[in-house]
Amino acid sequence: MPMLKGKDIVSIKEMKEEEIEAVFRVADEMVPIARGEERSDLLHGYVLASLFFEPSTRTRLSFEAAMQRLGGGVIGFSSSAGTSVEKGETLADTVRMADGYSDVIVVRHPYQGAARLAAEFAEHPVINAGDGAGQHPTQTLLDLYTIKKEMGKIGGLNIGLLGDLKYGRTVHSLAYALARFRANLYFISPDILRMPRHIVREVERYTRPYETSDINEVIGDLDVLYVTRIQKERFPDPAEYRKVAGSYVIDLDLLRRAKDTFIVMHPLPRVNEISPEVDKTKHAKYFVQAFNGVPVRMALLAMVLGVR
Ligand code: NCD
């Protein structure tokens, strides 16, 4: 029985370590197909419903590329404009329809808990592509995959998560997964954007994170720095956003104080938190990371559909 067949991927917490490792093994096999060097019709005849109620570039395009690279079809929308949601249709009804038209559903929504709700109404597997400030499990899979490929391991590394730890869903999923893989965690954020306490408590079952607002204090210790954008759209008060906008800028001066093997990651989009001069350095891994979204999502789609 294929390991993930028929499963919903709503939170990374629900995936076992051996399931995550299995996704990485299948992703490795997918790389030549993701690059377009080999062709595949592994998912020929299958249809993905791609329901994006919130802006996305990488997540949506890499899911759709993943499905099409494997010979599958894609239906869906990239904003609720032009759909019956504008007429007042509920998420539950939209999902029930998509469920009837497809074999697997990917959903991104501004409300936390939306993917869980979708999974309750769909017979087919539902994959969470980001629910408000909640979780973003497929981003975590590609983040872990990238760290493992670039550094050869996850356990024992000193990994800093920097920026908007309060509203950033990528770091909510990632912190938990990194702790489980026994990384040493550093949470670096402005005071008002610290990691929510319920996530810190969960992380503390495995490791004690070091919390600071000063990147200079820890830069020399880190093997990996995961930078995030301040999530402007989630601030209830624009004045609060203005207080913390531009809190951190990763530049060459900072990199000079980092280890030789140090890498910088970012889920993207970036605004100004990584200076473009960093892109050309050997430390910059965010574009490789974005590419890794394709083989990882190919693996996940093939696995929940039960063909791998
Ligand atoms: C992130 C997201 O949507 O949570 N982007 C992504 O999926 N790569 C990060 C962000 O928007 O800052």
**For 165-222, how does the pLDDT look when each residue is reduced to its tens digit (9 = 90+)?**
999 999 999 999 999 999 999 999 999 999 999 999 999 999 999 999 999 999 999 9
Mean of the per-residue pLDDT values of the chain: 97
Q: Is residue 280 located within the same domain as residue 300?
A: no
Cα gap 49→75, rounded to integer Å? 5
Q: Is residue 148 located within the same domain as residue 286?
A: yes
Query: Within a domain: residue 251?
Result: yes
Q: Average pLDDT of 97-102?
A: 98
Q: Which atom of ligand 1 is nearest to the CA of 228?
A: 12
Q: Which atom of ligand 1 is nearest to the CA of 231?
A: 12
Does residue 261 have an active-site annotation? no
> pLDDT by residue (tens digit) across 127-153?
999 999 999 999 999 999 999 999 999
Per-residue CA distances from 210 to 92, 174, 196 (Å):
41, 16, 14
Q: Is residue 243 located within the same domain as residue 156?
A: yes
Pocket test for ligand 1, best of 57, 111, 136, 141 (most atoms within 8 A of CB): 136
Query: Within a domain: residue 71?
Result: yes
Does residue 234 have an active-site annotation? no
Q: Average pLDDT of 31-39?
A: 98
Identify the domain containing residue 226 by its residue range.
137-290
Q: Is residue 273 located within the same domain as residue 169?
A: yes
Q: Is residue 227 located within the same domain as residue 248?
A: yes
Query: Within a domain: residue 174?
Result: yes
Q: Is residue 127 located within the same domain as residue 222?
A: no
Does residue 58 have an active-site annotation? yes
Q: Is residue 163 located within the same domain as residue 119?
A: no
Domain containing residue 223: CATH number: 3.40.50.1370
Query: Within a domain: residue 205?
Result: yes
Query: Within a domain: residue 261?
Result: yes
Q: Is residue 217 located within the same domain as residue 114?
A: no
Query: Within a domain: residue 98?
Result: yes
Number of domains in the chain: 2
Q: Is residue 101 located within the same domain as residue 50?
A: yes
Q: Is residue 180 located within the same domain as residue 203?
A: yes
Residue ranges lining ligand 1, Cβ < 6 Å: 58-59, 130, 136, 139, 169-170, 229, 267-268
* Catalytic member of 7, 109, 136, 297: 136
pTM, rounded to two decimals = 0.97
165 Cα to the center of ligand 1, angstroms = 13
**Atom 11 of ligand 1, nearest CA residue:** 269
Q: Which atom of ligand 1 is nearest to the CA of 170?
A: 4
Q: Is residue 154 located within the same domain as residue 297?
A: no
Query: Within a domain: residue 152?
Result: yes
* Catalytic member of 7, 59, 94, 297: 59
Question: What phi, psi does 9 have (nearest 5°)?
Answer: -115, 85
Q: Is residue 175 located within the same domain as residue 280?
A: yes
Query: Within a domain: residue 6?
Result: no
Residue 82 has pLDDT above 80, yes or no: yes
Residue 1 has pLDDT above 70, yes or no: no
